[in-house]
Chains A and B, each alone.
Chain A
Amino acid sequence: MTRAVERSFAVRWRDFSLGRYRRHLRRLTLLAALVVLAAWRAEVNMHDLITGLGRGLSMVGLFLPPKWDAFPEMIEPAFVTVLIAATATPIGALCSILFGLAASRNIAPAWLRAATRTAIALERGIPEIVILLILVAAFGIGPFSGVVALVIGSIGMLGKLVGDAIEEIDPRTVESVACTGASRAQIIRYAMLPEVLPSLLANSMFRFEVNIRASVLLGAVGAGGIGYELSTAMSQVEYNKAATAALVSFALVMAAERASDHLRSKVLSRGQLA
């Protein structure tokens, strides 16, 4: 009887033992080693975290209450932030049609396609903020540099999507339009654009949301707007004012997310905006 008990106990023990996961052992060790290596490189430090938590919590007190009378002076920067994204998105979408056409094999010559695809891939490898830093060095600080940086970023994302969408168009659609004696421009207008416009519209809505977030970030390195207010308030140790700016940018991003979700579902269900 004792043996039976022992055996059933052993069975149960094995149920909970890590031995069942033995086949994952090698992978888990690799992962653990990577984590340790990464933690060492990223200077992970639990002591800093714990003391930092206390400091962070006491800092939250510094931010409260937000400086409400700073609110009126935040309206104009907030407007600029929205404007940067709202200007960059349609321009980027328009440019991405051109880039998308140049990047698709069924309309562009091979050399043009290769060049455009390389440019888009390169662009996607560079974060927007780095593009902005270069633009600021060339054109100076200001919202326009932000717009150009976001347009370039939008082309990287939307141009690839448009190019892929055009390449996926059924060749018979293109041929049947070509059979009527259509010129290249007419093929683009009547066989290609109708196929890609709805998805471009929906993706542009999403990109607008991304652009709003990026525009807040870009503001902090010289594009102006609410991000600039936030980072100056922080560096001037005016935490209450920074809290106001943070609240405003919070509201902006939330509104953009809602609006983009709403418009996107409208576009996806009906194929057009209005």
Chain B
Amino acid sequence: MNEAAVSVPRAELPSVRFRRRVVTALIASGSVIASLVYMKADPLALFRDFHYVANLLGEMLPPNIALLWHKPSLWTSLLETISMAFLATLGGAAIALVMALFGAANTTPHRGLRLLVRSLLAAERCTPNFAVLLVLLIAVGIGPFAAMLSLLIGSLGMFGKLFADAIEQVDPGPLDAIAASGASRLQIIRYGVLPQVAPSIVANVFYAFDVNLRAAVALGIFGGGGIGFELNVARSLLRYKDMLACLILVVIMITVMERVADFFRRQIFSREGVLN
């Protein structure tokens, strides 16, 4: 009788819920610790070997700011990195838009083509950026051009999927209206599809520029030129003061470019009809 009065599902009892939480926490922390042990990692080393970090910081400080005017090539390599990201974003967006038109169900000329483009894009998204770079470095030669191309190829996968999804979600009403006026397929795309997807395309382009700028620094380290290359050279020559100067330059560049991109984004979105 009493049992009926307090019939709470057993799984909802506070004690059971507590026990379940404890077990989950134990399993999670246990597996993290197990993997740390497997990697022969010693978190205590972070504290015990902290003097290495302190030594390193001592060697890095003060940053060799004088490098900024003693070595003008630093500024050109900075421009190189920004150029790589800029071109890769723009070119990637242009090519991806064409691919997306083939990869979206409502604009593709053939269903088989859609499947092919979609699987190509999916495959591209799974290929690590630097694997593409390693191949391109041999094909095109060491330098910013190879890094730019691999960034461009890297942007295709993400751009293509996002654009194709955006195109598939457009309102079919205007498309039908334009088709009823006797417009060709290209005209439907130009006047029906593009105006609807333009805002999302522009937003994605700005986001991708942000991502590509960081990636451009990283690819420089693998021989892609630009500021990442300078940074890696300074590191491998153990010139840590120069390295810190490069690092500061990278942080400033990324922050400034974020602001610049924000400015242009606001310019574009604040004006009505700019996107048509």
Are A and B physically bound partners? Answer: yes
Residue of B49, B138, B148 near A55 (CB, 8 A) is B138
* Contact A45–B145 (Cβ < 8 Å): yes
Let me know if A133 is at the binding interface, CB within 8 A. yes
Let me know if A37 is at the binding interface, CB within 8 A. yes
Q: Which residues does chain A contribute within 8 Å of B217, judged by CB atoms?
A: 127, 129-130
Instruction: Decide: A138 near B221, CB < 8 A? Known: A39-B87, A126-B251, A250-B126.
Output: no
* Contact B136–A125 (Cβ < 8 Å): no
* Contact B218–A250 (Cβ < 8 Å): no
Let me know if B39 is at the binding interface, CB within 8 A. yes
* Contact B38–A234 (Cβ < 8 Å): no
* Contact A125–B250 (Cβ < 8 Å): yes
**A234 → chain B closest CB, angstroms:** 5
* Contact A129–B80 (Cβ < 8 Å): no
Q: Which residues does chain B contribute within 8 Å of A55, judged by CB atoms?
A: 138-139
* Contact B87–A91 (Cβ < 8 Å): no
**B119 → chain A closest CB, angstroms:** 11
| Range class of the B interface residue count | 35 or more
Let me know if A170 is at the binding interface, CB within 8 A. no
Most buried by B among A56, A139, A253: A139
Let me know if B83 is at the binding interface, CB within 8 A. yes
* Contact B139–A143 (Cβ < 8 Å): no
Q: Which residues does chain A contribute within 8 Å of B24, judged by CB atoms?
A: 274
Instruction: Decide: A126 near B39, CB < 8 A? Known: A41-B144, A227-B128.
Output: no
- Name the residue on B nearest A58 (C-beta): B139
The 4 nearest A-B residue pairs measured at CB: A144-B41, A38-B83, A56-B139, A52-B140
Q: Which residues of B contact A (CB under 8 A)?
A: 24, 28, 32, 35-36, 38-42, 45-46, 49, 52-53, 56, 76, 79-80, 82-84, 86-87, 90, 122-123, 125-131, 134-136, 138-141, 143-145, 148-149, 214-215, 217-218, 221-222, 225, 228, 231-232, 235, 240, 247, 250-251, 254-255
